[in-house]
Chain A
Amino acid sequence: MISVAEAPPGRQVQLRLLAGSNDGRLDSHLAQHGRLPVLETNQVMGMARDAGLTGRGGAGFPLWRKLSAVAAGGRAPVVIANGAEGEPASGKDRALLTYAPNLVLDGLQLVALGAQSVVLYAPAAGHRALRELLDARRAAGLDRVPVRLVTAPDAFVAGEESAAAAAVAGRGAVPADKLVRITESGPGGAPTLVQNVETLAHLAMIARYGAGWFRAAGTAEEPGTFLATVSGAVASPGVVEAGYGVALGDLIAAAGGASAPLSAVLVGGYHGGWVPAEGALPVSRAGLMPYGGSPGAGVIVALPRNACGLMETARIAGYLAGQVAGQCGPCVNGLPRLASTLTDLAQLRARPGLPAEVDRLARLVTGRGACRHPDGTARLIHSAMRAFEADVAAHLTGRCLATDARG
């Protein structure tokens, strides 16, 4: 869809993680940032709390809370840096592991003290370079705790936290039931910490430059920068970095600007939501809440006015239906039905009650899976029905506003 890792991360709004030479080399990393200060686990936890660092994998859960839940287990944890990026519209984790992997590995060391096993879970394509880098870091005495590489399969749900933990335990990379949280007891019985690679990279920066420095970017409620993958109708798709609360228009401008008039923007990825293409809209939880959206893992897809938002959503829904793990009945059955019903609406195969049926099915699958795959899919579809309300009405009369606009 987009090839992010090939595009140099030169376009930015506020560069931090990607402010260096971005060559992935250990010597340039040390020249820029120096060695990581030695910190104890409780210091790391306090720092993460003071900084207000939240997970950058999509859910936005405060890092320090997860750290403290794992510590409360009282047993040596399994620690996993999560570089799985099954979301087709996201390329920021791959970019980070290519351009600034040392920040990720520094951050992993900060949360790895006392762990029984420390893993970098990442797509196989990057393993050779990462293996060489891990060896170089060990030889330089940088990594106190050895890190094992585990392959993240290329599947949408493979990056879900319990799926990552299962893969690391040698099982299939599919989500598990949440009655017992993995921070308490993961697949092998040990407390398990799964943290997105970008979150760890931010932690490595906070350890060097402090919580106050971190908070100088973003908003008071949502501090720091985040990596965004901007694609769709933009001149120069790729990964950019900005503080939370950045204007949507500034993010799009950082990706070369819109290449056509836009009708809407998908924010937060395939489990995210459609928002109006308003340049001033702040990209933050608070700013996107009125649209039921959130920055998620920083995915931004610009929809040109001559493309049908319902068609695009139906295409994504079809993809998501094909990415079910195959474990949970309501998701296995509900997502394909939801996608085909939405496709009927998108392709002008109108019948009475079609929008109501889409709404019913989306509600029906919500909250009824081991993971949030059905919930996220339903959220996307609900947001499409709101954002493209006028087109829903037009489609029921056999017309498409976007296609009409093409002339």
Chain B
Amino acid sequence: MNRLHVDWTACDGRGLCAELLPELLVEDDWGYPAPRGDMSVPPALEPAARQAVDRCPALALRLTAPASS
């Protein structure tokens, strides 16, 4: 399973990812994405995850293959 990776040095907490991927992410007290689980992306959520990655305004979200994560 692919995993989500947040580059915390780049993330601004805009909140788009948590909106597009409510199954995996929730906003924390300050608007930054917090994982609901271990950041693994089930195949069914893969398209939504790719969309979240593409739309992150800070380019802080990545989808990584198991071997490289």
Binding site for B on A (CB under 8 A): 175-177, 179, 327-331, 333-334, 337, 364, 368-370
Contact = CB atoms under 8 A, between A and B. Distances in A.
A165 B7 CA distance: 18
Given A364-B34, A368-B34, A337 B29 contact: yes
A364 B8 contact: no
Interface class of chain A by DSSP: loop
Size category of the binding interface on chain B: 10 to 19
Contacts of B5: 179
Contacts of B12: 329
Interface class of chain B by DSSP: loop
Interface of B: 5-13, 28-32, 34, 62, 64
B7 to A, nearest CB: 4
10 contacts: A176-B9, A177-B10, A179-B64, A329-B30, A329-B31, A330-B30, A333-B29, A334-B30, A364-B34, A370-B9
Given A364-B28, A370-B7, 5 more contacts: A177-B10, A327-B9, A333-B29, A368-B32, A369-B8
Nearest to B38: A367
A329 B11 CA distance: 7
Contacts of A179: 5, 7, 62, 64
B8 A370 contact: yes
Contact of A329 (B32, B62, B64): B32
A179 B5 CA distance: 8
B53 to A, nearest CB: 13
Contact of B9 (A177, A333, A334, A364): A177
Contacts of A331: 8
A327 B8 contact: yes
A158 to B, nearest CB: 16
Contacts of B28: 330, 334, 364
Residue among A329, A331, A333, A337 facing the most chain B CB atoms (10 A cut-off):
A329
A320 B56 CA distance: 30
Contacts of A330: 8, 28, 30, 32, 34
Nearest to B5: A179
A370 B9 CA distance: 6
Nearest to B64: A179
